[in-house]
Structure 1
């Protein structure tokens, strides 16, 4: 099993940054990230790096600190201590440059129910400085990737949860980022919709670096080649799914062993 201390020892380079043993660039980096609200620590000293081309599951029970850590990674929240980097850009001091490489889908995506999906994508494209033929090309690409053609002119408020999730994914992909951070992308979807989203993420993972949070163990087995485990705001595991299950083949029992919580099967 790879523990937090094992991971830190193997990844820490001489300058304190996560080392890259394979030569691939580290695209997502957390350096001793902590977030305090008074005496409450939402996260404490979280450190890990996700390399180019990896699809990593950020695993943990509800309330473990997954969403808070993701907000710190994206620059949405300022850390109390430590810092986050996206594609080598410090998200505190160089956030705009980092955001050009980042697509972020929060748990409750930034959707305006009175807008059509087409209008929303146009709005976000313009906000990101994309216009003209380039915007048309990118919209055509994400509409195809997210299978939105049948609802593209409908008001978002009239769409099913599954289609709203696809619209949220489309806006995160619109500027063709290198890195995707997805907060529980299958939450609230029915089984057919979950299969479609998982398939889409697997396809995106062939070209992009992805970190997705979940407390559903099948997400790990279906999509990911890396697992970062967090519980009560602290990292408790960082390694591959095979390493996670090496000592305990039953992943649900392994989840319970690490967190004391029951996973969603």
Structure 2
């Protein structure tokens, strides 16, 4: 359904995407992961037809640069950064619903499930909403319509814990027959939703892990490891994964989400010389 063929993109002579080729078929639920600057948002912008790039992007054979309206009509999109729109919330919903021929009440219903009081904010300019309110409204617009492609760039970043839970429950109801591409820094949150993990690093695909649907994707694997010596960079990486040092600081314990196991091992491979033992159960 979605094809990236030898995609490269540079900004001020710096390669942000470097010869990326990927194929996303119907039923693929993809977690797009990587550090800041890895190229995740740029790849999404190329899919949406916002950027000119080298190579080819196709959605069922259609070039999103040549037919943006046709491609975007099929995509429910949640951006990482809300646009600075000054129009009232009610007008934004009505406009969004008219573009994709849906009932604006459907979008409002999703937003209200996430905790928005539409009667209170309906006449407020979108730009005046809080970060969390903007995100809930954008999610409502994306999920309150018919689409066979869902593209979300850090969609839960500004949501409170209860809204996050509701959002992921709503998302799980929309998975059948769709292609989902979600960038996230927290793979543990989306582990139960995805069946494929793609990691970008410096504009290249360094991991493409397909997780079998027959395996429980929400399962956590206990991990213990022993280091030869302490290293600040490795300690920071392990801490970011939620690991905790014990004893002399050379022993670490933590858990790794099933779909994230290869990404974790890929990270650990960079410090292979420091590892005395590693076990995943």
Q: TM-score, normalised by structure 1?
A: 0.73
Contact 1:54–1:225 (8 Å) recurs in 2: yes
How far apart, in 2, do the equivalents of 1:93 and 1:215 lie?
A: 32
Superposition map of 1:12-91 within 5 A: 26=1, 28-79=2-53, 81-91=54-64
For 2:77, the equivalent position in structure 1 comes to: 104
- Find 2:91's aligned residue among 116, 119, 124: 119
Contact 2:109–2:144 (8 Å) recurs in 1: no
Following superposition, the deviation at residue 257 of structure 1 comes to: 3.4
Following superposition, the deviation at residue 40 of structure 1 comes to: 0.6
For 2:109, the equivalent position in structure 1 comes to: 144
Decide which structure has the larger Cα Rg and report it: 2
Q: 1:92 to 1:232 in 2, by over 3 A?
A: same
Unaligned runs of 5+ in 1: 1-25, 261-265
RMSD over aligned Cα atoms: 3.0
* Residues paired across the two proteins, number: 224
Higher fraction of helix: 1
Contact 1:231–1:259 (8 Å) recurs in 2: no
How far apart, in 2, do the equivalents of 1:111 and 1:197 lie?
A: 23
Following superposition, the deviation at residue 256 of structure 1 comes to: 2.7
Q: TM-score, normalised by structure 2?
A: 0.69
Q: 1:82 to 1:113 in 2, by over 3 A?
A: same
Contact 2:57–2:63 (8 Å) recurs in 1: yes
How far apart, in 1, do the equivalents of 2:142 and 2:25 lie?
A: 20
For 1:254, the equivalent position in structure 2 comes to: 265
Unaligned runs of 5+ in 2: 224-254, 272-281
Following superposition, the deviation at residue 241 of structure 1 comes to: 4.0
Q: Aligned to 2:173, what secondary structure does the other structure show? A: helix
For 2:160, the equivalent position in structure 1 comes to: 190
Higher fraction of strand: 2
